[in-house]
């Protein structure tokens, strides 16, 4: 049994992951439906760190929903706002941050995340993502004639960029707790690469 708080050779997995993170932020990236918010929240709890969803933060500061922002200002203006919000969030820390699907695609946003954070790509295949996103109707980029084909196109465009993330964890048909363990393991084993600052 893999208990996140059970000591393993002195330190628990969560403690090792927390030590590896140091003062940096842990930033989840990936397509809609990958589990960034759900897994991010659970990882934050395991690490005893605050959790922030950038879409929720953008909605809070703008007093508009993501869909309303897209409709009123278009994607380019939304991405500019998103970059500013993420840059502000990266100034504090450590914390766990879940980003919108397009955030990491923006080069400026990637640089901001790289300078103050450790990025984790939750990678999922098309069927997993589609199963998760087709139940709700709040995603502006999927308001097309063939949303599944749109999702597949987004995967082809964005996956090579998501692959630039510091860590990659598969998001599939596994229990959420198992995914949390996988994220913590990836972070703990990345300790050698980062200096924790």
> Does pLDDT of 1 surpass 80?
no
How far is the CA of 126 from the CAs of 37, 39, 67, in angstroms?
18, 19, 23
Q: Give the torsion sign (CA, 63, 142, 134, 101).
A: negative
Which tens digit of pLDDT belongs to each residue from 63-112?
Answer: 999 889 988 998 888 988 999 999 999 998 899 999 998 899 999 999 99
Residue 92: its pLDDT value, please?
84
Report which of residues 159 and 151 the model is more confident about.
Answer: 159
Residue 89: its pLDDT value, please?
93
> Does pLDDT of 173 surpass 90?
no
* Whole-prediction pTM: 0.86
Which tens digit of pLDDT belongs to each residue from 138-151?
Answer: 565 566 677 788 88
Answer whether 181's CB lies under 8 Å from 3's CB: no
Residue 40: its pLDDT value, please?
96
């Amino acid at each position: 049994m893999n208990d996140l708080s059970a000591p393993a050779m002195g330190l628990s997995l969560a403690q090792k992951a927390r030590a590896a993170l140091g003062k940096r932020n842990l930033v989840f990236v990936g397509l809609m439906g990958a589990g960034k918010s759900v897994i991010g929240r659970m990882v934050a709890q395991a690490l005893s760190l605050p959790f922030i969803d950038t879409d929720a933060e953008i909605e809070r500061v703008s007093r508009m929903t993501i869909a309303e922002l897209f409709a009123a200002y278009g994607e380019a203006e939304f991405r500019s706002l998103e970059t500013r919000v993420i840059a502000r969030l990266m100034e504090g820390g450590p914390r766990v941050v879940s980003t919108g699907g397009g955030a990491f695609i923006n080069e400026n946003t990637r640089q901001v995340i790289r300078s103050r954070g450790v990025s984790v790509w939750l990678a999922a295949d098309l069927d997993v993502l589609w199963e998760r996103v087709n139940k709700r109707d709040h995603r502006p980029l999927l308001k097309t004639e063939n949303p599944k084909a749109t999702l597949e196109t987004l995967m082809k465009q964005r996956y090579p960029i998501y692959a630039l993330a510091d860590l990659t964890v598969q998001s599939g048909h596994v229990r959420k707790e198992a995914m949390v363990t996988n994220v913590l393991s990836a972070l703990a084993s990345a300790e050698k690469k980062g200096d924790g600052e």
